[in-house]
């Protein structure tokens, strides 16, 4: 998956520079809401916790293949805290620091209104990269790459020919991102839970969009 995304990124950048009639740079700033993750396999094999909401930022490069169609590659990042309870030789409760990074490739469909307001909807697929800091050891981290997708609705409000204000609501998901190969526990993979929980993050915010070419 990682190699596929990197190959798509190189192809996207090269083709955009060579053939694009319009390229947009999109800057994102939004708040993402809490999401609960849990898995109960047995009375001695479970976890439950909350990926706390917070500030998320990102950048996107968008190639306008058509006046109403855009192809966008973007990066999003959030630094979250995750209070977690799990069973490992008894019930344990800890708060983990988690860095969540999305790399998504998707499409946007714009609805021309004839004015400065440009509504749009879109979707994207890619990967979510997690890095978890073990609170018991500063040198022991756990990390994983998971399949991710995104749905979004928003609008651009153009304040000049080249600059617009972006308003957007979206839903991003990292599939089977907690449990299984990515554990919250002592020594990285210590909780020993064999089932998964998918993460869903609702986001609300905005940003800026710039026409570069």
pLDDT number for residue 6: 56
pLDDT number for residue 7: 62
Whether the pLDDT of residue 189 is over 50: the answer is: no
Q: Which residue reads 């520079």 in tokens?
A: 17
The mean per-residue pLDDT over the stretch 37-45 comes to 70
pLDDT number for residue 107: 95
pLDDT number for residue 186: 42
pLDDT number for residue 58: 96
In this prediction, residue 198 has a pLDDT band, given cuts at 50, 70 and 90, of: confident
pTM over 0.85: no
Averaged confidence pLDDT in the chain: 82
The mean per-residue pLDDT over the stretch 29-58 comes to 84
Q: What share of the chain is helix, strand, coil (3-state, %, to 5)?
A: 10, 70, 20
Exposure string of 37-47, with b = 16+ CB inside 10 Å and e = fewer, is bbbeeeeebbb
């Amino acid at each position: 998956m990682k190699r596929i995304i990197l190959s798509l990124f190189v192809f996207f950048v090269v083709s955009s520079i060579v053939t694009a009639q319009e390229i947009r740079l999109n800057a994102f700033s939004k708040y993402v809401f809490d999401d609960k993750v849990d898995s109960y396999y047995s009375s001695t094999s479970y976890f439950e916790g909350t990926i706390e909401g917070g500030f998320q930022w990102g950048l996107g490069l968008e190639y306008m293949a058509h006046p109403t169609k855009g192809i966008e590659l973007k990066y999003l990042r959030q630094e979250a805290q995750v209070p977690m309870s799990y069973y490992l030789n008894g019930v344990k409760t800890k708060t983990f620091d988690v860095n969540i990074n999305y790399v998504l490739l998707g499409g946007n469909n714009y609805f021309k209104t004839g004015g400065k307001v440009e509504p749009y909807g879109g979707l994207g697929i890619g990967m979510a990269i997690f890095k978890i800091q073990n609170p018991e050891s500063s040198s022991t981290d756990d990390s994983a790459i998971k399949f991710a997708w995104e749905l979004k609705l928003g609008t651009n409000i153009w304040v000049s020919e080249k600059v617009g204000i972006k308003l957007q609501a979206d839903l991003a998901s990292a599939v089977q991102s907690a449990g299984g190969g990515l554990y919250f526990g002592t020594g990285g993979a210590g909780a020993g839970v064999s089932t998964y929980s998918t993460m869903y993050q609702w986001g609300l915010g905005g940003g800026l969009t710039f026409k570069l070419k």
